[in-house]
Amino acid sequence: MSKSNRIYPLILSSIDATTIDNLHLEPFRVDGDPYPLPEACFFIRITNACNNAVLVSFNNLGLHLYIPSGEHREINFQTNASPSNYVSLLKKGTLLSAGGATDEGGYIYLAGYYNERT
């Protein structure tokens, strides 16, 4: 049986900034329902297209990333794979969410890539 190594993108998802505030984390709706990541990702990009800074959570409880207005954060989970060739991925089922004081609107976007071995 042959194996192939292909890269697939997650479906671009977004959060309307008017639905979040400092006390409420809104999950990214990746692939509709359910909210968690449908695949283990090796790369994600979160873009803040809001007028205010946002905070991102990787477990819907704590706050893990600060992204100023108009900026983005890229996380490559494969950077620690060498020299031992270990595979480092953001776990399938991870619930990514965002919060912050964004009273004027805009969107927070999540893009990512995963590897499906068949």
83: domain CATH number is 2.60.120
Nearest to 18 by CA among 107, 90, 92: 107
pLDDT at 78: 80
DSSP characters for 9-60?
Answer: EPPPEEEEGGG-BTTBPEEP-TTSSS-S-SS-EEEEEEEEEESS-EEEESSS
Q: How many structural domains compose the chain?
A: 1
Name the pTM for this structure. Answer: 0.85
Structural domain of 57 = 5-117
d(CA 54, CA 18) in angstroms, rounded, equals: 12
User: Percent of the chain having pLDDT more than 90?
Assistant: 31
What does pLDDT average to in each consecutive run of 10 residues of the chain (118 residues)? Answer: 71 87 82 76 93 89 90 87 72 89 82 78
d(CA 105, CA 118) in angstroms, rounded, equals: 41
